[in-house]
């Protein structure tokens, strides 16, 4: 059989943004044949990915305000026009389906939406997904009507890709566990963030119930699983929940729980264990405060610095800046200044900055909007939230937590047992990834992990190997003439890169 022209693995926003751009190029300059494109998606739902579809809750919000979700002004205006035209229907549906969380969200945000104060509105994410899918489907209709593209969809998990005779053999596993393969001239890996790391967790048993991935099979199903496990636990004092990690999914989990008073009532204590013992900071709107950067100023005056000294100074300034919460413009100033001071350094220093140090800086100002803060705020007010500063070692089958205290390095056992444990640790180094595809790519020497450990090394044409392309979070940590982000868990950056990838796919 003739190889497909293009196979895309994963059908989230990285895939749809790329296809929209590919279609637009084909409309402008049709190819000499109908381009065959196959999309292989492991979930039954296409075009929405994890954040914007049914694996997330309808109540899950954008991580940034909607203003920053669409950083491109033209795209933002398209979105806002679409949203305004469909607002009554969209928000009506949301109020009907989002329960108490939606009602509270509407109360908090009604005024900002009315006045168009988009800098402070964190929209339910599924609305962004709906917009993107409509945009994609419109573009698809046009290329199909013009006979420019033939699209094939396969619901399967790709487990391996191998080069063969100037093309690639893509091996995939169907939901019924049967295996097939197809051949493709070009393959795009658009599989989103690498899956959560495998940690030492027991299997579900009578004593403990485990959620290894909040979005698998879906957040709502997992909250139901938690409710069932706690309801079946007789003593209120035994109904303890352990959340491992304090990243974005952890704060989202607390927010979703807080909207369900019947679940909150069941919980005795909810313990979040993380090295920092902190949840993301809240965002402060304080445009008037003085944005001092004493450590970076000092470094500039002194001159002749290394990238390590630069990072050290930036870290010091950030830790002062986030003392009372995150002022976005203040952080932007520090990062902007750090970049300015990076410019005179050599290429290796720049690569190390993007590959290693940038992420370390970002971890110092993890932030979340006011809506999400209400979740941890409520649990805190009720005396149910415990932030434990330490690293998780293991939890045994009886629910006993073993951990290492961050400050003392002491090995400790938590004084209460847990009925429920939720893994919110984020992804592992790609060489240890539980994704069969990523593991095989790396261990079969087809793709190389970049300096960050979290991304695949690519050239300026997004290629990890000839005609094997990457788009989305797995690009994080690359530094070349085109791609230079330390993290790409960010829809707006993915949309920004999509036209460039399209240019490489259909020159
Ligand atoms: C829960 C969550 C919330 C987020 N919220 C925001 C936000 O508010 N704003 C923001 O800018 N960014 C957010 N992000 C960051 C996110 O990475 C990007 O916004 C964007 O969704 C990434 O798109 P993607 O298509 O690369 O990944 P995804 O949307 O994750 O899509 C990847 C798809 O690939 C499929 N897949 C994976 N492996 C395989 C395989 N081997 N075979 C076949 N299919 C496979 C998956 O099932 C999935 O559908 C969030 C991320 C997550 C996980």
Rounded to the nearest whole angstrom, what is the distance from the C-alpha of residue 449 to the centroid of ligand 1? Answer: 19
Which atom belonging to ligand 1 lies closest to the Cα atom of 125? 8
For a ligand 1 pocket test, name from 192, 424, 493 the mutation site with the most ligand atoms within 8 angstroms of its C-beta: 192
158 in contact with ligand 1, CB cutoff 6 A: yes
Residues 167, 182 contacting (CB under 8 angstroms): no
At residue 430, does pLDDT exceed 90?
A: yes
Q: Report CA torsion sign: 188, 194, 195, 200.
A: positive
pLDDT in tens, 352-379: 999 999 999 999 998 888 899 889 999 9
Q: Whose CA is nearest to atom 24 of ligand 1?
A: 192
Please report the pLDDT score of residue 288 as a whole number. Answer: 62
At residue 285, does pLDDT exceed 80?
A: no
Q: Whose CA is nearest to atom 41 of ligand 1?
A: 158
Helices (H) and strands (E) in the chain, counts: 16, 19
pLDDT band at 242 (very low <50, low <70, confident <90, very high): very high
Q: At what angle do helices 73-97 and 125-145 cross, to 10 degrees?
A: 120
pLDDT in tens, 36-86: 999 999 999 999 999 999 999 999 999 989 998 999 999 999 999 999 999
Q: Which domains does the chain have, with CATH numbers?
A: 4-55+132-194+430-505 (3.50.50.60), 61-123 (no CATH), 209-280+368-423 (3.50.50.60), 283-365 (no CATH)
295 in contact with ligand 1, CB cutoff 6 A: no
Residues 499, 41 contacting (CB under 8 angstroms): no
Q: Identify the bridge partners of residue 168 per DSSP, sorted by sequence position.
A: 163, 184
214 in contact with ligand 1, CB cutoff 6 A: no
251 in contact with ligand 1, CB cutoff 6 A: no
Q: Which two tokens stand for residue 234?
A: 């007789």
Rounded to the nearest whole angstrom, what is the distance from the C-alpha of residue 12 to the centroid of ligand 1? Answer: 6
């Amino acid at each position: 059989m003739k190889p497909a022209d293009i196979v895309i693995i994963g059908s989230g926003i990285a895939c749809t943004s790329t296809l929209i751009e590919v279609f637009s190029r084909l409309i402008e300059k049709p190819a000499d044949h109908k381009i065959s494109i196959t999309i292989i998606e492991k979930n039954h739902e296409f075009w929405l990915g994890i954040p914007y579809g049914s694996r997330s809750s309808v109540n899950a919000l954008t991580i940034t305000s909607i203003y920053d979700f669409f950083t491109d002004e033209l795209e933002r205006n398209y979105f806002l026009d679409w949203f305004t035209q469909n607002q009554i229907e969209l928000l009506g549906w949301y109020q009907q389906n989002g329960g108490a969380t939606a009602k509270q969200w509407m109360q908090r945000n009604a005024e900002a939406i009315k006045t168009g104060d988009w800098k402070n509105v964190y929209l339910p994410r599924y609305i962004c997904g709906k917009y993107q899918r409509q945009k994609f489907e419109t573009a698809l209709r046009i290329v199909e009507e013009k006979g420019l593209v033939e699209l094939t969809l396969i619901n399967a998990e790709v487990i391996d890709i191998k080069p063969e005779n100037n093309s690639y053999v893509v091996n995939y596993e169907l939901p019924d566990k049967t295996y097939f393969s197809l051949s493709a001239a070009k393959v795009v890996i658009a599989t989103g963030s690498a899956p959560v790391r495998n940690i030492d967790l027991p299997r579900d048993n009578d004593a403990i119930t485990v959620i290894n991935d909040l979005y698998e099979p879906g957040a709502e199903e997992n909250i139901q699983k938690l409710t069932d496990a706690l309801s079946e636990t007789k003593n209120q004092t035994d109904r303890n929940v352990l959340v491992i990690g304090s990243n974005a999914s952890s704060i989202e989990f607390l927010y979703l729980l807080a909207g369900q008073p019947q679940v909150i009532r069941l919980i005795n204590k909810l313990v979040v264990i993380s090295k920092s013992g902190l949840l993301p900071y809240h965002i402060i709107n304080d445009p008037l405060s003085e944005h001092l950067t004493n450590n970076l100023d000092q470094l500039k005056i002194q001159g002749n610095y290394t990238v390590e000294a630069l990072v050290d100074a930036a870290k010091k300034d950030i830790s002062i800046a986030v003392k009372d919460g995150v002022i976005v413009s203040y952080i932007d100033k520090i990062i902007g200044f750090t970049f300015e001071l990076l410019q005179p350094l050599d290429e290796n220093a720049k690569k190390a900055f993007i590959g290693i140090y940038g992420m370390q800086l970002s971890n110092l100002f993890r932030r979340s909007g006011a809506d999400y803060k209400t979740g941890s705020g409520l649990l805190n007010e009720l005396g149910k939230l415990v932030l434990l500063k330490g690293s998780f070692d293991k939890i045994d089958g009886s629910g006993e937590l073993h951990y290492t205290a961050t400050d003392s390095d002491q090995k400790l056992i938590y004084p209460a047992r847990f009925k429920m444990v939720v893994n919110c640790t984020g992804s592992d180094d790609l060489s240890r990834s539980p994704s069969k595809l990523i593991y095989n790519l790396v261990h079969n020497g087809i793709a190389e992990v970049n300096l960050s450990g979290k991304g695949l090394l690519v050239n300026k044409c997004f290629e990890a190997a000839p005609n094997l392309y990457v788009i989305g979070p797995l690009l994080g940590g690359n530094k070349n003439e085109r791609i230079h982000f330390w993290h790409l868990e960010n829809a707006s950056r993915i949309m920004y890169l999509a036209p460039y990838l399209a240019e490489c796919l259909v020159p």
